[in-house]
Amino acid sequence: MTMKLDESLFTVPGVGRGLRFYVTGATPCPYLDGQMERKAFTHLNQSAPDTLHNQLSEAGFRRSQSVAYRPACPSCNACRSVRVDASQFSPSRNQDRILKRNADLVRRPVAPKATREQFRLLKRYLVSRHEGGGMSDMGFREFAGMVNETPVQTLMFEYREGPEEDAPLVGVSLTDVLRDGFSMVYTFFDTRQPKRSLGTYMILDHIRSAEDYGLPHVYLGYWIKQSPKMDYKRRFQPLEVLDGAVWRPLEEDK
């Protein structure tokens, strides 16, 4: 169930007041026990979707297919939008070891078109990390919708164990390309190689790539201090958190 949301509740810099927002019904929060979540969203399938997507991303929205959304929970504000300052990032000793451990991997950007190979990797990842979750029953058609249905500039970053096109695929990131950085929409990887720390590596590689392309940020979605599943994002410093309409260093929350 969705309903029209009072547009005055959302002030997005640079976005016209004619933009329509909606809010979902309340559902159990997947991160905090006992909490209910609601999301405000709007459609990107309109004129100049990339421009709109950039503006909404800077205002804390995330993308799912052709929809941009952000939390709209009336009694909770635990979800905080975060992004890495790629230009100032310096890996920790452990992160540097992870980069070196994965030096053999080759990143290849490809068009956002779902493949059976990607889907097989996703299913293994979901069984290992998110069995019983909302995506565990996803079929190939739903996966293709998640990947293919994008009205904005999007890439799939494939990570393979070698330069050959048929080299083993060990990681994938669905990534939006914004005017000020990369937005990591969804990542999945081979969990049978835990020593690689592939989830961490793909974030580090995006930060490194953003700096190479002169893009100042890597958007990591929502950080939740009270959730171990989401608090890992704090490790990528300097990290900025959206406070109202202003991005500021996360260190101020410590």
In 3D, which of 118, 153, 120, 133 has the Cα closest to residue 48?
153
CATH topology of domain 83-253: Aminopeptidase (3.40.630)
* pLDDT band for position 251 (cuts 50, 70, 90): confident
pLDDT tens per residue, range 38-52 = 999 999 998 899 999
Domain boundary assignment for the chain: 2-79, 83-253
- High-pLDDT (> 70) share of the chain, %: 90
Mean pLDDT for the chain? 90
pLDDT at 2: 44
| pLDDT at 150 exceeding the cut of 70 | yes
Give residue 147's region: left, alpha or beta (phi > 0; psi -120 to 50).
Answer: alpha
* pLDDT band for position 132 (cuts 50, 70, 90): low
pLDDT at 93: 97
CB 160, CB 108: distance < 8 Å: yes
